[in-house]
Structure 1
Amino acid sequence: MITKLPGWVWMGAALLATIGGMVNAVGFLGLTHEALTHLTGTTTSGAIALVTGDWRLLGHMGAILTAYFSGSVLSGFIIQQSTLRLGRRYGVTLLIESLLLLLATPLLMKDLRWGEYLATCACGVQNAMATSYSGAVIRTTHMSGIITDLGIWIGHWLRGLPQDHKRAWLGLTLFGGFFLGGVLGAVLFARFSYATLLLPAVLTGVTGLVYTVYQHWRGTRPGD
């Protein structure tokens, strides 16, 4: 149940959603003006490129898909768990995401698409890491599922069905964080261009370090 979600999950989910929003804003405002944090449009663009014979675009879309998928595989390999649980290697995963964003920044500043692939890989790492907890699906890099969940909640509420109100608040928290991240990303990109990615890189890096220290303070083992 959502009512069992501890405070650190709420704060972490909101922060990660904000980071996702910032990265995605950079993707839309950057080199190829496309999403970096989810693959729905990428998959459709790849399908269209296949039909139209635009092999260069098809290769690019395939690289984006592969990068995101690779990030998800890496996250799953490290965390080894489909539900959030203290003691898992979230600190290491966040540090890897931070490193990927740091490496992506100078490449994007040189208009190299490898920067997009590294940033997309970082989003795959993040989305696979923030999966589920106590029956709550935690999505931090795309909002389609969040909007769908909120719509279902409102529909059930209109029918007078019993509702877990904290589920709606979680959805609103994630949506608000992602939207705020988009605003911050757009404002910062106008002034700092791709260097905007340094902020989410620092946030994930610091969070990863703090989590690792907290993990040791709690006396848990990294491999638990």
Structure 2
Amino acid sequence: MISRLPRWVWPVAWLLAFDAGAVNAVGLLGAAHQAVSHLTGTTTLLATAIADGDGLGIARFAGVALAFVAGAVAAGAVIPTNPLDLDQRQSALLAAVAVLLVLSLAAFESGSLAGLHLAAAACGLQNAMTTSFSGAVVRTSHVSGMFTDLGIALGHALRRAPVQPRRLLLCSVVIAGFFAGGLAAAALYARVGYGALWLPTGMTVVLAIVNAAHVARRAR
């Protein structure tokens, strides 16, 4: 599958992983200290909240999970049958991610936990986009799978089994993007607080504009 991915997937995967890493860093550094780009820890926190009978915790963690899923549902309802066929629907989805991030920023700055839900929805939406156009090979909002694949490849190398270099490169691209996004957002958060969300928002807007221009030019 990786060998059939078009060249544009690689930079887009890095950019979207950067965005997700940045959004997740802001969620963790903010008042709620909550991851929003993936649901592994959130699912565990929900389970412990249920075990403790913590109603507020249940509402908070279940809300984040449902918001992430809602974002993925929205993407699934809009993405073309062949997601590699770029059209303006991808531009619209990217614009929706940007809008969700702006709303999340406003909610965070007003002290509302709705910021978590809006940020999680944005991450679920963009992760569903990349999952769809890569055939589930690329997931940009979390990197556990990427690190697992790296470990498997190293194990194969130790026993001199064949290793897929393109797979290794793709894992490295996503991990590097996610890490760079977290690093940049953390540096910005120390200076401008939740305003750090303008970085992934702006990058998403630029990506939406580039896609829209590409589709329009190709249609001529």
- Asked whether the two chains share a fold, i.e. TM above 0.5, the reply is yes
1:43-98 superposed Cα distances (whole Å, 9 cap, x missing partner) = 11111111111111001111101110100000111104475333372111100000
Q: Which moved more, 1:160-169 or 1:3-12?
A: 3-12
The aligned residue for residue 93 of structure 2 is 93
The aligned residue for residue 162 of structure 1 is 162
8 Å contact kept, 1:83–1:131: no
CA distance in 2, matches of 1:59, 1:93: 27
SS class of match (1:131): helix
Aligned pairs (5 A) from 1:14-25:
14-25=14-25
Aligned pairs (5 A) from 1:66-85:
66-81=66-81, 83-85=83-85
The aligned residue for residue 180 of structure 1 is 180
The aligned residue for residue 200 of structure 2 is 200
Q: Which moved more, 1:36-45 or 1:133-142?
A: 133-142
| Inter-CA distance 81–190: structure 2 relative to 1 (3 Å threshold) | farther
| Inter-CA distance 69–134: structure 2 relative to 1 (3 Å threshold) | closer
Instruction: List structure 1 runs of 4+ shifted beyond 3 angstroms.
Output: 80-85, 132-136
Shift of 1:210: 1.4
SS class of match (1:186): helix
The aligned residue for residue 3 of structure 2 is 3
1:120 aligns with 2:120: yes
SS class of match (1:218): helix
CA RMSD of aligned residues (A): 1.7
The aligned residue for residue 107 of structure 1 is 107
The aligned residue for residue 148 of structure 1 is 148
CA distance in 1, matches of 2:87, 2:119: 26
Q: Which moved more, 1:32-41 or 1:86-95?
A: 86-95
Shift of 1:133: 5.0
Shift of 1:136: 6.5
CA distance in 1, matches of 2:164, 2:133: 15
Shift of 1:103: 1.1
8 Å contact kept, 2:34–2:116: no
The aligned residue for residue 129 of structure 2 is 129
CA distance in 2, matches of 1:159, 1:180: 32
CA distance in 2, matches of 1:83, 1:36: 25
Amino acid at match of 1:182: G
Amino acid at match of 2:213: V
Q: Give me the identity figure in percent.
A: 43
TM-score, normalization by structure 1:
0.93
CA distance in 2, matches of 1:128, 1:168: 22
Q: In structure 2, list runs of 5 or more residues that go unmatched.
A: none
1:97-119 superposed Cα distances (whole Å, 9 cap, x missing partner) = 00100111111011111111111
1:210 aligns with 2:203: no
CA distance in 1, matches of 2:199, 2:36: 16
| Inter-CA distance 17–172: structure 2 relative to 1 (3 Å threshold) | same
Count of residues paired in the alignment: 220
1:152-196 superposed Cα distances (whole Å, 9 cap, x missing partner) = 111122222222201101101110110111100100000010111
Q: In structure 1, list runs of 5 or more residues that go unmatched.
A: none
TM-score, normalization by structure 2:
0.94
CA distance in 1, matches of 2:55, 2:124: 24
8 Å contact kept, 1:136–1:167: no
